[in-house]
Chain A
Amino acid sequence: VNPDLVKERQNATFDVDEFASWFYGDTALMGMKRLITEELYRGLDDPLDLEYMSYEDVYTAGVKQAVESTVRMRNMQEKINPGGTEIYPTLLSGLVGNAMMPAGNPMAVHLLMFTKALKGQGTSEQYERWGKRADNFEIIGTYAQTELGHGTYLRGLQTRADYDRRTDEFVLHTPHISAYKWWPGGLGHTVNYCIVVAQLYIDGESKGIHLFLVQVRDEETHRPLPGIDIGDIGKKIGMPGVNNGYLGLNKVRIPRIQMLMRNAQVLEDGSYVKSPVSQLNYFPMVYVRAAVAFGNTFFLAQAVTIATRYSAVRRQSPINEPEPQVLDHITQQMKVLPEIASVVAYRLAAGQVWSLYHRTAKDVNAGDYSRLPELHALSCTLKAACSYDSTYAIERMRQSCGGHGYLAAANLGNIFGLASAACTYEGENSVLYLQVGKILLKAWGDVLAKRQLMPTMSYLGELAAWKQFPQWT
Chain B
Amino acid sequence: GSWQQLVEALQYAATNKTRLAHQHYTTRLGAGRTQPQALNETGIELTQAAELHGRAFVTYTFLQEVTGKAAAKRSANLNRVLEQLLELYLVHTVQRHMADILRFVPLSEQQIDDLQTRLELVLKQVRLNAVAIVDGFDLEDRELSSVLGSYDGNVYERILASAKKSPMNKRPVPVAFERYLKPFMRAKL
Report A's interface with B, CB cutoff 8 A.
1-2, 4-5, 8-9, 11-20, 22-24, 30, 33-34, 37, 41, 44, 46-48, 52, 96, 99-100, 102, 298, 301-302, 304-314, 327-328, 330, 333-334, 336-338, 340-346, 348-349, 352, 377-378, 380-382, 384-385, 401, 404-405, 407, 409-412, 414, 430, 432-438, 440-441, 443-445, 448, 456-457, 459-460, 463-464, 466, 468-470, 472-473
Contact = CB atoms under 8 A, between A and B. Distances in A.
Nearest to B39: A438
Contacts of B58: 345-346, 348-349, 382, 385
Interface of B: 1-2, 5, 8-9, 11-12, 14-15, 18-19, 21-22, 25, 39, 42-43, 45-47, 49-51, 53-62, 65, 74-75, 77-78, 80-82, 85-86, 88-89, 92, 104-107, 111, 120, 123-124, 126-140, 142-155, 158-159, 162-163, 165-167
A18 B107 contact: no
A375 to B, nearest CB: 12
B46 A441 contact: yes
A385 B143 contact: no
A301 B81 contact: no
Given A4-B153, A435-B50, 13 more contacts: A5-B153, A14-B77, A14-B80, A33-B138, A102-B145, A301-B139, A311-B130, A333-B123, A348-B65, A433-B51, A434-B50, A436-B50, A436-B54
Contact of B152 (A1, A17, A20): A1
B138 A24 contact: yes
Nearest to B126: A337
B144 A464 contact: no
B124 to A, nearest CB: 8
A469 to B, nearest CB: 4
B75 A464 contact: no
Contact of A306 (B55, B107, B146, B159): B146
Contacts of B129: 12-14
17 contacts: A2-B153, A13-B77, A14-B129, A19-B78, A19-B132, A20-B135, A23-B136, A306-B146, A306-B148, A328-B127, A334-B123, A337-B88, A344-B85, A381-B53, A410-B148, A437-B49, A440-B46
A275 to B, nearest CB: 23
Contacts of A328: 127
A407 B78 contact: no
Given A8-B131, A434-B50, A441-B21, A338 B144 contact: no
A384 B55 CA distance: 11
A470 B75 CA distance: 33
Contacts of B166: 52
A99 B143 contact: yes
A77 B85 CA distance: 35
A384 B54 contact: yes
Given A309-B150, A436-B50, A472 B132 contact: no
A308 B47 contact: no
Q: Which of A344, A378, A384 has the most CB of B within 10 A?
A: A344
Contacts of B133: 19, 308, 340
Contacts of A340: 85, 88, 126, 130, 133-134
A389 B37 CA distance: 30
